[in-house]
């Protein structure tokens, strides 16, 4: 093949390297007064079916990506991430108590809640701002979204297990209690020492005789 026409190559390279779209006049001046219109027309036709196009916008020429490939310029990569323990707790509190303010969440959790935690839940699409509570300070209150229900396979919030069910499932066992179970059972022979903290409400005593 004989290489393309020199003016065509020059126009091609110039527009490629240009930081701004260029008019016919600018191009021509840049290329020493050459007649650039035939080259532009030939280039425009050459690139019509390719991944890039030569287009005229407001009397200025530029290369750009073919419109049907625009999606290639902006790719989304999905990254699966597990919700943190803190965020899961906050989500659960909102689900059980909604609508609920941040102060109320903190009162229930017993610890401060980082602002980022609520942001994550809102980014996940599970929590939304549900207005403000009409009390002094008018705090923002939060509630769950329909996406929350669908993600967790719930028809409604009423399907969340109640406290009794949680207790029955052992989910309300506190750490203390679990510890005592461990600590007491093996100590079968040891005499229980009655201490002030230990003795409070006596259960029905086992009487001998």
Partner 1 sequence: MSEELPFDPPLPPRAAPEEQLHLDLEGWEGPLDLLLDLARRQKVDLRQISILALVDQYLAYIGQAEALKLELAADYLVMAAWLAYLKSALLLPKAEQEDPSPEELALRLQLRLARLGAMREAAARLLARDRVGRDVFVRGRPEGLRLDRRSVWQCDWYALVSAYGQVKARTAPVVHMVRTRPVMTLDSALDRVSAMLGVRIDWTELREFLPPHAEPRLRRSALASSFVAALELARRGQAELRQDAAFGPLHLRCVAA
Tell me: does residue 22 bind a copy of itself (CB under 8 A). Answer: no
Judged by DSSP in three states, 162 sits in coil
Minimum CB separation from partner 1 for residue 50, in Å? 13
Nearer to a copy of itself, 14 or 145 (CB): 14
* Residues forming a β-bridge with 142: 100, 129
Burial of 177 (0-12, 13-18, 19+ CB in 10 A): exposed
Half-sphere exposure of 45 (CA within 13 A, CB side): 6
Tell me: does residue 28 bind a copy of itself (CB under 8 A). Answer: no
Nearer to a copy of itself, 37 or 180 (CB): 37
Pairing of strands 22-23, 60-65: antiparallel
Minimum CB separation from a copy of itself for residue 69, in Å? 4
Tell me: does residue 11 bind a copy of itself (CB under 8 A). Answer: yes
Per the CB < 8 A criterion, the answer to whether 63 and 53 are in contact is: yes
Half-sphere exposure of 151 (CA within 13 A, CB side): 12
Minimum CB separation from a copy of itself for residue 73, in Å? 5
Minimum CB separation from partner 1 for residue 83, in Å? 4
Per the CB < 8 A criterion, the answer to whether 117 and 86 are in contact is: yes
Nearer to a copy of itself, 45 or 129 (CB): 45
Site string for a copy of itself, 46-65 (x = CB under 8 A): ---xxxx----------x-x
Q: Distance between CA 34 and CA 151 in Å, rounded?
A: 64
Sheet with 22-23, strands from edge to edge, namely: 22-23, 60-65, 52-57
User: In the window 67-86, what residues touch a copy of itself (CB under 8 A)?
Assistant: 69, 72-73, 75
Nearer to a copy of itself, 1 or 135 (CB): 1
Binds 158: which of partner 1, a copy of itself, none (CB < 5-8 Å by kind): none
By the criterion CB under 8 A, which residues form the site for a copy of itself?
A: 1-4, 8-14, 16-17, 30-31, 49-52, 63, 65-66, 69, 72-73, 75
């Amino acid at each position: 093949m004989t290489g393309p026409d020199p003016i065509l190559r020059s126009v091609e390279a110039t527009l490629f390297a240009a930081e701004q779209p260029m008019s016919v006049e600018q191009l021509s001046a840049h290329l020493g007064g050459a007649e650039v219109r035939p080259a532009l027309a030939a280039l425009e036709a050459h690139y019509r079916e390719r991944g890039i196009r030569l287009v005229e916008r407001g009397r200025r020429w530029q290369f750009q990506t073919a419109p049907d490939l625009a999606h290639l310029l902006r790719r989304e990569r999905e990254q699966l991430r597990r919700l943190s323990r803190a965020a899961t707790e906050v989500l659960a509190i909102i689900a059980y108590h909604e609508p609920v303010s941040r102060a109320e969440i903190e009162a229930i959790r017993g610890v401060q809640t980082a602002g980022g935690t609520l942001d994550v839940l809102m980014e996940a699409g599970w929590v939304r701002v549900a207005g403000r509570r009409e009390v002094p300070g008018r705090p923002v209150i939060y509630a769950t979204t329909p996406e929350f229900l669908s993600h967790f396979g719930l028809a409604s919030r009423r399907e969340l297990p109640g406290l009794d069910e949680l207790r029955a499932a052992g989910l309300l066992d506190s750490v203390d209690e679990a510890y005592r179970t461990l600590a007491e059972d093996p100590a079968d022979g040891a005499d229980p020492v009655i201490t002030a903290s230990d003795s409070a409400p006596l259960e029905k005593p086992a009487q001998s005789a």
